[in-house]
Structure 1
């Protein structure tokens, strides 16, 4: 019988066998389609919960919610500032108007270009993060990207106070470069937090997914409030982007608090031991899981093969979403123009951004229901494929009223609202279920890598969707 090893990190006492190696039964404690392991898996999860300290006041859940919110906030802040960028890229030889029939080529296409600039580097960085996550400490992979994104948003905020009418092209290039860098930082940050959540019980992955939903709602609300509270697009954008800087600061503080939570330390220090990075008793009193490097290379292909179905589903779901949102949906104009203030200033922020993000958040929050279950991936696959039907539905709405190549079939403003409700909800609910299930198909010691890999496929879907978005907008 092996001698037990006891360690204490941040006040949490954890016991391990010194030469611990998972036995055969533990190696099989994974979710395999077609094999009923739910009972054993659930027992293991209950055992973990019974041994772990309590998540007092749900503080760890709230921290993961905040981390999830910030993981999508940078991208959503850019795409939701639709009116600001339309103003900056307007035809400066005539009086500015929000009417679509006066849109310049850059005004019509900037959202699709932004999507490509965001998603392509994001997936490349995700690949790099997957390859190096076992060699770079969690603290570095989270703190450095947050500081980098905060600095770039400070630059973006300053640009709102500068007149760029004489150098619109240069301004557009600066914006593209900022988006590339912000999403490169965001790729590392997002992959890291998904990896961490994969180690904890399922509800913490759900916390990140719900937080991402709030990361869409918050910019939508800030956009509407800043438009109502200011007289010019530049003033509105200044308030708007300044709020983004504040959100980054709050997120950084939340992450720095996480290692002090005994509940988080229990799971993550145990994971560090199982990955053979360092024995718990070797951790210095000032060192915990967020500073530990995992030098053992994970079996990437083996992990992918176990999570291939949820990985491919998350890729499909988010490819469908970014292909239509925001590029296509934000191009839908109001048919009823009796109230010009509503039609020009508020229709797109409400119909496109607020509606989608509210329903996306609702879907992510309801994913605690977890139906279909992880044993019914076939039904999840069918539901994900059915979302392709939104392409013709949105294409037949009032997209680009004076430049469209299709006749308007759904000639009432209620139609895009209804379609977007279903579109946003299905994205949030199905995407959350797949992300929650993915890391649970593998052993605990590989769950962080599985979480990072799921985030990689999510980013891959966004990258593919961004390219489809450019093509689809040009076609219609």
Structure 2
């Protein structure tokens, strides 16, 4: 019988794999930013209300955006429940990020900066962009809560904290861009660039965190795949591992290549 792998959690008298540590609370910070990323794209559209009212004078653009978001978000929740067993969780989250980032980049470049569209065309494009954002963010958000359910409870709390601060962060961003840059076109463009940068940071952190030993440890256990292989701090690279027998109150050095 070969000695157990370093990542297996065994019972009494066998080697125990320590639970991976969230060093410097990096995983928690990533989850907090993920919560911000759920609502950041939509908040970026509706917080820019001064620019919208100036460009679409006499219209109910903000109300139409809110209505579009609500209707599409409802459809996205239903579709996500249908596809929950057909697409992997990380695939749905990744697609959600892409659908959230795409409209932000498209509107900021072609509508705000280059002004390629007429007023009527821009009105329709902004509503379509909000619809795509609503679909992407809703799929991403609903999938992420299933993802967080596999981790300790404090990480779900971190995501919820991020969601509650998303509006504050976007509002502060708009206030400062308006105060520091008088030109409305320039401050709106910079405002969208800040939002795009934050959303991309959330996406990149997700790609890094999902591969961390900490996350893989909990997700593999919850999905019934067994513990993942992580570095064991008790393995010094000498070919021996220290085994502390609590009942016998003694320390035993065991060769990793020993076969019983």
The TM-score bracket by the shorter chain reads 0.7 to 0.9
How far apart are the structure 1 equivalents of 2:88 and 2:97?
15
Higher relative contact order (CA 8 A, sep 6+): 2
What's 1:54 paired with? 21
Q: Compared with structure 1, are the counterparts of its residues 220 and 114 closer, same or farther at alpha carbon in structure 2 (3 Å cutoff)?
A: same
What's 2:226 paired with? 280
What does 1:6-405 correspond to in 2, within 5 Å? 13-15=7-9, 52-90=19-57, 104=58, 106=59, 109-158=60-109, 159-163=111-115, 167-273=118-224, 279-280=225-226
Instruction: List, as ranges, runs of 4+ consecutive aligned residues in structure 1 with deviation greater than 3 Å.
Output: 14-17
How far apart are the structure 1 equivalents of 2:198 and 2:27?
18
What's 1:462 paired with? none
Deviation of 1:237 (Å) = 0.9
How far apart are the structure 1 equivalents of 2:163 and 2:61?
23
How far apart are the structure 2 equivalents of 1:62 and 1:262?
16
Preserved CA contact (<8 Å) 1:77 1:241: yes
Deviation of 1:195 (Å) = 1.1
Counting helix residues as a fraction of each chain, which structure ranks higher? 1
Alpha-carbon RMSD across the aligned residues, in angstroms, is: 2.5
Q: Compared with structure 1, are the counterparts of its residues 264 and 86 closer, same or farther at alpha carbon in structure 2 (3 Å cutoff)?
A: same
Preserved CA contact (<8 Å) 2:41 2:101: no
What's 1:457 paired with? none
Deviation of 1:242 (Å) = 0.9
Preserved CA contact (<8 Å) 1:68 1:211: yes
How far apart are the structure 1 equivalents of 2:71 and 2:8?
42
Q: What stretches of structure 1 of length at least 5 have no aligned partner?
A: 1-5, 18-49, 91-103, 274-278, 286-476
How far apart are the structure 2 equivalents of 1:226 and 1:148?
25
User: Does the residue aligned with 1:160 lie in a helix, a strand or coil?
Assistant: helix
Q: What stretches of structure 2 of length at least 5 have no aligned partner?
A: 12-16, 231-260
Q: How many residues align?
A: 221
Q: Compared with structure 1, are the counterparts of its residues 7 and 124 closer, same or farther at alpha carbon in structure 2 (3 Å cutoff)?
A: farther
Normalised by the size of structure 2, how large is the TM-score?
A: 0.77
How far apart are the structure 1 equivalents of 2:175 and 2:9?
52
Larger Rg: 2
How far apart are the structure 2 equivalents of 1:152 and 1:219?
17
